[in-house]
Amino acid sequence: MSDLPTFVTQRPSEIHADSWRNPYRLAAVRLRAVIQELGDFGHLPPSSVVLDYGCATAPYRDLIGTEHTYVGADIAGNPSAEVELKADGTVPLPDASVDVVLSTQVLEHVLDPTLYLAECLRLLKPGGYVVLTTHGIMHFHEDPVDYWRWTSEGLHKLLRDTGFDVVEMRGIMGLASAAVQLFQVATADHVPRFARGTYVAALQWTAGFIDRRYSEPARLRDSLVLAVRAKRPA
């Protein structure tokens, strides 16, 4: 996590949108629903502190009730962050100072995932938890760098070795639906611009239709994106 890069300000405007124009619509809709379920933010004690560690554009800020405190933390240059990370990527907040750490599509971009997770553990109060999503078989993308991919077992081991108790893990898009997503990414730029929106919408519908055939265990085995809730032991 040392030698932090500069925040990428030119970001896709619709990447989290529930719109057929969004080339990641299915993943975005499923991811938002799973984050809300795993976070269970509505049952947090009053005045809980939720730290969004690597918050980017803070797309899930609205899931946190107004009775709680949301704190976005990110590298220099992010106008959506209330807290700027230190040079080594750690957060300038005290030990055991937050109730929940939210980490969405960050872990694959950090230089040292073990250090990042150890920092999550340090920041959490005993019994607090992290809601983390990261890449399974997703394609390479720089934001501004892209280092890692995980299997469900590999991510489980990484969290356990860091000191977390894994409570629940979910897969976002199984193997065949992920294959449709990756095929779309590989081919959409070669489709004439006037037809590209229709092409993307058709493939997103196809991926969703296929994905409904997956059981949760099957989806977790070969997943585009992984989501997990892990607890700091009390």
* Residues 149, 35: Cα–Cα separation, whole Å: 19
The pLDDT value recorded for residue 17 is 75
The pLDDT value recorded for residue 18 is 81
**Model pLDDT for residues 69-98, shown as the tens digit of each residue:** 999 999 888 898 999 999 899 999 999 999
**Model pLDDT for residues 42-70, shown as the tens digit of each residue:** 999 999 999 999 999 999 999 998 999 99
Paired strand residues for 115? none
Would you state the structure tokens that stand for residue 178, as one six-digit string?
């992920």
The pLDDT value recorded for residue 153 is 97
- The residue with tokens 């809709």 is 29
The pLDDT value recorded for residue 13 is 60
Closest Cα to residue 91, out of 132, 131, 123, 58? 123
Beta carbons within 8 Å of 179's beta carbon, 6+ residues apart = none
Q: Output the pTM of the full model.
A: 0.92
The pLDDT value recorded for residue 196 is 95
- Mean predicted lDDT score pLDDT of the chain: 93
**Model pLDDT for residues 183-199, shown as the tens digit of each residue:** 999 999 999 999 999 99
CB 112 within 8 A of CB 1: yes
The pLDDT value recorded for residue 10 is 57
Chain CA centroid to CA 137, Å: 14
* Domains located in the chain, CATH noted: 30-174+215-231 (3.40.50.150)
Q: Which of the residue ranges 12-16, 25-29, 66-70, 197-201 would you say has the lowest mean pLDDT?
A: 12-16
Alpha helix ranges (H) inside 86-167: 113-123, 152-162
**Model pLDDT for residues 133-151, shown as the tens digit of each residue:** 999 999 998 878 899 999 9
Closest Cα to residue 4, out of 112, 133, 162, 104? 112
Q: What DSSP line would sit under 33-64, residue for residue? A: HHHHHHH-GGGSPTT-EEEEET-TT-TTGGGS
**Overall average pLDDT of the 221-234 stretch:** 96
- At 6, the pLDDT band (50, 70, 90 cuts) reads low
Paired strand residues for 123? none
Q: What DSSP line would sit under 131-153, residue for residue? A: EEEEESSPPP--SS-------HH
Report the sign of the C-alpha dihedral through residues 17, 20, 23, 24, in that order.
positive
